Structure 1
Amino acid sequence: MGDLILSTKDAAAKDTGSQEPEAKENDAKDTIATIPIKHIPVRPAYGTKGKPVVVATNYYDMSVTSQRLLQYKLVPVRVYPPGVTAKNPPIALKGRKLHRIIQLTMEKLDGVWVSEFKDYVYTLNPLTFPNGDPTIRIEYADESRPMEFDVKFTQPTSIDFGPLIKYLTTMKDYSGDFPVYADVISAIGAVLGHTPRSSSNVASLGSSRHFPLNISGQSQPLGFPDMNTIIRGYFQSVRPATGRLLLNLNVSHGVFRFAGPVKDLLKNYNAPGLRNVHRLLGRLRAEVVFLYDHGQPKGSKKGKAAGPSQDKIGRRVSEKTLTGLATRQDGRKGSKPVIQHDYARPSEVSFVLDGDVPAGFTAGAKYTVAQYYKTRYNYTVDPDLPVINAGTKDKPVYIPAEFVTIKAGQAVRRKTTPEETREMIDFAVRSPFANATSIATLGRQSMGLDNSKVLSAFNVTIGKNLLSVHARELPTPSIQYQGQKTANVFEGSWNLASVKVYRAGHPITNCTWVNIQQEGNGRHYDDNDLKNTMEEWRKHMKEKMGIPCSEFKNPNGLHIRLARGEYPEQKIREVFKLLSEYQMVFVVLPGKGTDVYNAVKLVGDTEMGFHTVCVVRDNLLKKSAQYYANVGLKVNLKMGGANHKLREDIPIFKEGKTMAVGYDVTHPTNMAGSDNLPSIVGMVSSTDRDLAQWPSTTWTQQSKQEMLDAEKLRNEFAERLQLWQKANGNQLPDNILIFRDGVSEGQFAQVLTKEVPEMREACKKIYPAKRQPLFTLVVSVKRHQTRFYPTDSRNMTKSRNVKSGTVVDRGVTLARTWDFFLVAHTALQGTARPAHYTVLLDEIFGSKYKAEAANMMEKVVHEMCYLFGRATKAVSICPPAYYADILCTRRRVYMSDVFEGSFDDSSSIASGTQSARIQNASHRNIHSRLKDTMFYI
């Protein structure tokens, strides 16, 4: 891939590594906790199985000196003028306001400092305060409203780098908490992130993501409905590694609101589209031009700190938060303006001037916006552009659109549309080489890693080359179908040619099909052709795949016709009620839109209690045997079958005494009112030695709570054990292998102290007192930022990725912690994302496999990735975690009216009808007839 980008010299060095970066931009409310490292299993050994290879990483070596930083906490308190009552409780300071307050405060002090612009600043030397008082008064002007704050500095905490450097060098004498030296790592992260966070040309999101706003070719407009833009940026994180510190730097993408003159935005919309413009302008930050009175000389007086500035022709420029366009609902307090119609133009918006009025105006008289600007400023506004409200709904401030410019770097807080998603994928999916090149060039430049005065002052140096590490390619397992036939596996994938499912599920003796038509959705088709295709598909499943499916009870199908924009749920419910005794209903969807699909699953899964299998009509009518087979795999799983198995059983499951469990929690993100939408828990468990069937349970809990509710977890885990017992001759498993998906390192402690005890309590209620099962718990994470790149074309796939089965357990891992990265799948495009596995608890592998525990763990996880039932390929994450994620998605489908509803940003989602809708949606549970099946697949 080129010496400019990758260097392989580090692969031969001693094993070095780092733990996986923060698992995700975590939305959970749980406090980050630590746990004594002695409670985390020690890595039993490095793995040895597989073909040795060398891979490059997206890590840089870091050099830091053994020094001390001082950490000051800043506490800003609003100072109110005499006679003004302070707000109680005070409004929390965060985001850009807190950023600016910290910046203004530190400008009054001498010394070198860095900050994430949240709560803390870090310095090399003690700060010297005027008159010795650690309280600094600053003046801050927010949208032209001057405020004063007293910013108090607490006594500094010393952050000593020495113990961390010693530990990483020796890997000895550490008995503290995990994650290791979190305070030191956080301080170094603040040093590295200070430069991009301080730049007005970079938008920083969360703890680690930074997006340059002015680099050509690194963004792309997404078009309608909101004219948003996707920007290529970078994630950076400091990671402790054996023998050194590493900087993890990766390409990241963010979606941002339109930036630029509002008049340019308006060019994209006609009159009916102004409603959408009004919506998208709401709560956007913008620069607003205020003109001087006609005849007033152009001054050059500077504005106050953070307040209005002046452009070069003397007009005053102020930052405002927009409300939207002018509407008839404006002005609920005081003199109400007269708006001829919503989204009106300057000649259609009028208001009364009261009190002291400017020269040329009459108190109590009514003026349009156009008249006001002409009389006061001798300016003729654009008569065709709608008026912008730069005030509030209660107290509007109307500005001609040509004087408003939306500021860059404002992130989108909603779910992207399907069209936007397609555009995003087109822009974001690039070859591994392209991403590595960006990291090594624009990434370093944007993050200020070279020739940085800040890094130099804090004695931090970043290596020049991306690191390379030792890896291994694990052997591919053999896949078996009915009659001991095996599949030909190539690059982690195979097909169903000439094979039948390993074990058919329950015979489908009572089924039919339903065709849903929606005006304006889908291509023209012939009814007879559709009927014949459905029968052809049924025969393919029965004859080619070995799935027993009897003839349709209604050969001609049932048909539902929906008008354009019609809400589909009621008509689907009316037809489905006629089919309540059926086992399975095959549903032909008009297109890929989610509204019809969501209604089908809601009614079928929660109300009727029969399985539904959905196909898109255009795809079905292509009569592809591969399409028939892919959907047929879902059919067999729903009916309790096993599509394929491994020829050589995974050792730990071979005896039929080990149950596997996977669970995940998903949180509402990128939507208005998400703080009151519930988080969703999904849990699956195996019931057979072939790991084919994974019945499930799902529930909701408090919004953005990552840790599972204790009582609910205890009861649902007990139910998983009882299902295993029922399916295995009344026997309970001796071993339970648990995959916990998606928690960050800061939540590992809570998994061990809050969740594991509840699962043990469930076992105590079911098992004999002296025969408790052994637990092994593995955290599986996909939302991290580690990537690997091939360094040799012989170890490369067609998409220029590392090969499936590539495992890395050194170089980017800590020697003591038992974790590894695994690329089990083959990425067809883009850069393959490895899964990261960390063993948090082990009572099985160490005792059973001794010195081979690490090899066996990697083998088990790798081979399980070939047992994802609905695919003929290895998947990127272990199936228990994958199924749990799919289950959470299905539960969210049942609640699509609240998760995908159009709650306004300014509304309180927790009030009135909306709160009732959320409560009602949270109680939509799977029908009892489907409860113990793989209905969610």
Structure 2
Amino acid sequence: MQLCESLLRCPPRKFVEPYLSLGSPSAQCTEQRIAFRAAPASSGGGRRGFSEGTPRTPWLPVEQVTVLRAGPVHPCPTTSAFSAGVVPDALGPLEITPFAPPPRPAPGTIGTPIKLRANHFTISMPGWRLYHYDVTITPEKCPHSVNREVIDAIVKSYSGTFGSQKPVFDGRKNMYATIPLARDGVDLLVTLPSVGRARVFHVLITLVGEVDLQNLAEALRSRPCVVSVAGVRALDVILSQLPSMTYTSVGRSFFFAPSAADLGGVLEARNGYHQSVHLCQREVTVNVDVSAMAFYKAQPVIEFMVQVLHLHRIGPLQEFERTALTKKITGLKVTVAHTGRKYRVCGVTSNDAQHQTFPWLLENGKTVDCSVADYFQNKYGIKLRYPELPCLLAGPEKRKAFLPFELCDIEPGQKCMKRLTNAQTAKLIRPCTHTCLTKVDEVEPAFRYLKTRFACPNLVIVVLPGKTPIYAEVKRGGNTLMGVATQCVNYESPLKLKKRTLSNLIVKINAKLGGINCIVKPGDRPPLFKEPVIFLGASVTHHSSNSNLSIAAVTGSMDAHPCRYGATVRVQTGHQEVIQELTSMVKEMLTRFYKTTHWKPVRIVMYRGAVPESQLERVVITEVAAIREACSRLETDYKPGLTYVVVQRRHHTRLFCSHKEERTGRSGNVPPGTTVDTDITHPTEFDFFLCSHAGIQGTSRPSHYRVRWDDNCFTQDELQSLTYQLCHTYPRCTRCVYRPAPLYYASLVSNTAQHHVVTPPQVGYAPLSFLV
């Protein structure tokens, strides 16, 4: 277990001042009875570029904030591109510095040191020299399990080539061996037994390079530290070899079949563990954590249908039932009982088995139209029990296979990629939470009634019968059809009269009406606030029911506290991590910031939602350039300082207090504000772990902040304190949250926007742009 010294940066809520200001979505603050001092002029921002006579609101509050008076906003005349939203005709060249993450600054010093343990375990590096090979298997696009079988058969069949060694293989392209193969590569054939006929595979193995694991450990201890990630990849493959052959593997996690627990319906939960190799400051560690995932139950398709459609009897399906079943079963693998062959389902037929026909080639060479039910009766002597049911569609377009439901079984070990219900999610995470050690037609009539009866409401409160799909339709109707804020309430929640529940409800309603719930105390503001600064959050959500769509959201602070945020959304091509229209989105946020405050930001701090490691560098380079382009489009010489921070939550690092008296809460978690910037962090890059929230259930998961661009030259203390403060200013919650407010809002907006996409829109379509 990795030991590290940590600093408890700030006592929770010390610097956050409770503050209630009421307002409405149709009103903006035009008079602030606050004492101000003017910020100094600064190159690239502040007063520069403003037209003379433009009224400005002073930037920095220094005394106690009192109640804001609400009133209509009057646009200010100005010649700046910020307020006009006009792109200059001629832009100067955009200077982009070659990408390199900022170097790690000195460790932070603010706070009280406490001793922690983390679930990182040191690897004793063997002095191995490995040979890295690229593997090409034809036919391609086989499952990883099949590819592993192919390599295993190759090693056994060609002992003269591989000798006594057993190479490790990642199931895709990478293979590592301890002794070299032929320099010119190896070209081999292997046959795997299969149902019906054997399958022949062609395997081409070529040398990529060598990996010296001993040099990896030595490089970490040297300064300057220059480390290749090739050794880390090799160790990941080595440690994953055995569990991937024994358990069901999903990425870097491995799940045990006997641990399956019922999640209700067609799903079950499997417990397992996650492991991954990390480069830390002085050594290489393996991160191990418990994990759980939803899988489809191995069961007959008939039972699958009954559970999905909630049927009381088996009979002909109506069209809406067939459509619902198609959405659930498409993409799953099934095994056919009469032959044992496996197929991947691509749809459900519109006709039943006794009316679905296809051209059947007879032995005499003639072709006749034959129904599926007659085919199985004549070919296999199988009389279908449910000929009134449709068939599964499988196979390529030109050779479709029609599979009767009753002859098919769902293959075991298939992970569920669709969104779980709240009840299923609760059941799924329960094993991991140890102590520290309905339809459009039902909803839209209600909105039409409200629109007819009431004149322009500022807020509609909707009482719902518990967790229900109606929630999505309420949000879609309110945000896109009616243009009115909505607040959904579980009918049981107010009846419980719990103080925390009512407090959370009130702060949400106040924020949606334009009020302010809390601000950072002026005396605790970092020096960054002395000049106009905008905080941006960016997140990409992949549409849960349409794999061809992703939704990108950008939020930006709109005042000096910061407590009010604007948001803009775009729909883009599916599975794209780069925000494709970030330039226009950032330009929109900067323009609205200027219209609201009459100041140009001198600094931009962007918190970016999690990005896969394999795409991180491409995303950072593209999006940093896009932000600079947005600034240049507003004014050619406008170059505010930019800090770009990637916030990762999907990791498995956990922190534990070594001393019992330092633990907090019923679960014995680390204190809120615990920050780690040594030992388990990157050896050279600027990153840190911050556990800003107080864990309520299970072990708290710290957020991992990785600074990928920093023109503002933050120190560890400055950025950590700023980030911790922003975690306290999320107005929809009465507690400190686990990520900064701008990023929390961006994630909320992108997830909410999923409810707005009911038909595939044009890519680039912005379903909403508003103040949050």
TM-score range, shorter chain: 0.7 to 0.9
1:760 matched to 2:625: no
Give the aligned partner of residue 420 of structure 1. 424
Counterpart among 92, 113, 116 of residue 55 in structure 1: 116
Q: Which residue of 1 aligns with 2:244?
A: 197
In structure 1, give the amino acid aligned to 2:289. Answer: N
Query: Contact conserved, 1:894 with 1:924, CA < 8 A, in 2?
Result: no
Worse-matched range after superposition: 829-838 or 256-265: 256-265
SS in 1 for 2:276: strand
- Identify the residue that residue 854 of structure 1 maps to in structure 2: 716
What is the aligned partner in structure 2 of residue 884 from structure 1?
A: 746
Contact 2:464 2:488 in 1 (8 A): no
1:432-831 alignment, distance < 5 Å: 432-433=436-437, 567-578=441-452, 581-622=455-496, 626-647=500-521, 648-668=523-543, 671=545, 674=547, 676=548, 678-709=549-580, 712-728=581-597, 730-767=598-635, 769=637, 772-797=639-664, 798-831=666-699
1:246 maps onto 2:285 in alignment: yes
CA spacing shift, 1:329–1:139, aligned 2, 3 Å:
farther
Q: Aligned equivalents of 2:471 and 2:337: distance in 1?
A: 48
Q: How does 1:10-89 map to 2 (within 5 A)?
A: 10-11=3-4, 39-78=100-139
Q: Is the contact made by 1:331 and 1:394 (CA closer than 8 Å) also made in structure 2? A: no
Q: What is the CA–CA distance in structure 2 between the aligned matches of 1:785 and 1:328, rounded to whole Å?
A: 52
Query: Per the alignment, do residues 261 and 659 of structure 1 end up closer, same or farther by CA in structure 2, a change over 3 Å counting?
Result: closer
Contact 1:696 1:932 in 2 (8 A): yes
TM-score for both structures, normalised by structure 2:
0.76
**Distance (whole Å) between structure 2 residues aligned to residue 256 and residue 654 of structure 1:** 48
1:389 offset after TM fit, Å? Answer: 7.3
Change (3 A) 1:157 1:388: same
**Cross-structure match for 1:869:** 731
Greater strand share, 1 or 2? 2
CA distance in 2, matches of 1:352, 1:757: 61
TM-score calculated relative to the size of structure 1: 0.64
Kept in 2, the 8 Å contact 1:667–1:680? The answer is yes
Q: Offset at 1:39?
A: 1.8
* Aligned residue in 2 for 1:332: 358
Task: State which drifts further: 801-810 or 327-336.
Answer: 327-336
Deviations 1:519-558 (A, max 9, x none): xxxxxxxxxxxxxxxxxxxxxxxxxxxxxxxxxxxxxxxx
Say if 2:430 is the partner of 1:431. no
1:656 shift after superposition: 4.8
Report the counterpart of residue 213 of structure 2 in structure 1: 161
- The change in CA–CA distance for 1:826 and 1:387 in structure 2 (over 3 A counts) is same
CA distance, structure 2, for counterparts of residue 775 and residue 697 of structure 1: 20
> Structure 1's 680 and 405: CA in aligned 2 closer, same or farther, altered over 3 A?
closer
CA distance in 2, matches of 1:319, 1:352: 18
CA contact (8 A) 2:536 2:557 kept: yes
CA shift for structure 1 position 159: 2.2
Partner SS state of residue 644, structure 1: strand
2:771 is aligned to 933
Please provide the CA RMSD for this pair.
3.6
Q: For the residues of structure 2 that align with 1:56 and 1:780, how far apart are their CA atoms?
A: 22
Deviation, 1:699, is 0.9
Per-residue deviation, residues 156-190 of structure 1 (Å, max 9, x unmatched): 4222334422211114252xxxxx42222111111
Letter of the 2:419 partner, please give it.
Answer: K
CA contact (8 A) 2:436 2:668 kept: yes
Give the distance between the partners of 1:595 and 1:921, measured in 2 at CA: 26
| Structure 1 portions without partners, runs of 5+ | 1-6, 14-34, 79-90, 175-179, 291-315, 340-348, 359-366, 371-381, 434-563, 847-852, 898-916
Q: Distance in 1 between matches of 2:733 and 2:468?
A: 22
Shift of 1:786: 0.9
1:788 Cα deviation from its structure 2 partner: 1.1
Tell whether the 8 Å contact from 1:655 to 1:689 is kept in structure 2 after alignment. no
One-letter amino acid of the counterpart of residue 875, structure 1: V
Mapped to 2, the partners of 1:56 and 1:423 lie a distance apart of 28
Superposition deviation, residue 824 in structure 1: 0.5
Residues 55-454 of structure 1 mapped to structure 2, 5 A cutoff? 55-78=116-139, 92-109=141-158, 110=162, 111-127=165-181, 134-172=186-224, 174=226, 180-199=227-246, 202-206=247-251, 208-214=252-258, 218-224=259-265, 226=266, 228-259=267-298, 272=313, 284-285=332-333, 327-328=353-354, 330-334=356-360, 349-351=373-375, 368-369=382-383, 394-396=400-402, 406-433=410-437
- Report the CA distance between 1:116 and its aligned residue: 0.8
Partner of 1:345: none
Deviation readout 1:787-818 (Å, 9 max, x if unpaired): 11222221112222111111111121123211
Q: Cα gap change, 1:884/1:38 in structure 2, threshold over 3 Å: closer, same or farther?
A: closer
Q: In 2, distance between residues paired with 1:384 and 1:606?
A: 44
Q: Distance in 2 between matches of 1:190 and 1:391?
A: 34
- Which amino acid in structure 2 is aligned with residue 829 of structure 1? Q
CA spacing shift, 1:806–1:398, aligned 2, 3 Å: same
CA contact (8 A) 1:284 1:321 kept: yes
What residue identity is the alignment partner of 2:103?
V
Amino acid at match of 1:425: I
User: 1:665–1:682: 8 Å Cα contact kept in structure 2?
Assistant: yes
Task: Please give the secondary structure, in 2, of the residue aligned with 1:571.
Answer: helix
Instruction: Check 1:856–1:932 CA distance in 2 against 1; reply closer, same or farther (3 A cut).
Output: same
| Cα offset, 1:38, TM superposition | 7.9
Secondary structure, counterpart of 2:561 in structure 1: coil
Note if contact 1:330-1:336 (Cα within 8 Å) is conserved in structure 2: no
**Alpha-carbon contact 2:393-2:401 (below 8 Å) kept:** no
Amino acid at match of 1:429: T
Query: SS state of the match for residue 185, structure 1?
Result: helix
Secondary structure class of the residue paired with 1:860: helix
1:101-153 deviation digits (Å, cap 9, x = unpaired) = 33333332333200111112111112369xx9821111235542433222122
Q: How many residues align?
A: 654
Amino acid at match of 2:172: K
For residues 389 and 654 of structure 1, what CA distance do their matches in structure 2 show?
A: 61
Task: Name the CA distance, whole Å, in 2 between partners of 1:147 and 1:246.
Answer: 41
In 1, Cα distance between equivalents of 2:527 and 2:468: 40
* CA spacing shift, 1:692–1:223, aligned 2, 3 Å: same
1:492 maps to what in 2?
A: none
Per-residue deviation, 1:252: 1.2
Amino acid at match of 1:136: L
Q: Give the letter for the 1:878 counterpart.
A: P
Instruction: Label 1:233 to 1:327 Cα distance change in 2 as closer, same or farther (>3 A).
Output: farther
Q: Distance in 2 between matches of 1:687 and 1:140?
A: 63
- One-letter code of the match for 1:602? R
The Cα shift of 1:44 comes to 1.4
Residue 11 of structure 1, CA deviation = 4.3
**Cα drift, residue 613 of structure 1:** 2.5
Distance 1:806 1:113, change over 3 A: same
Instruction: Give 1:352 shift.
Output: 6.9
- Letter of the 1:70 partner, please give it: Y
1:435-479 deviation line (CA, Å, top 9, x unaligned): xxxxxxxxxxxxxxxxxxxxxxxxxxxxxxxxxxxxxxxxxxxxx
SS of 1:802's partner is coil
- 2:257 counterpart letter in structure 1: L
Structure 1 residue 745 displacement after superposition: 3.6
Take 1:921 and 1:765, find their aligned partners in 2: how far apart are those partners?
Answer: 23
For the Cα contact (< 8 Å) 1:652–1:658, is it kept in 2?
no
Structure 2: segments with no counterpart, 5+ residues: 7-95, 361-367
Whole-angstrom distance in 2 between the partners of 1:288 and 1:665 = 39
Report deviation, 1:273. Answer: 6.0
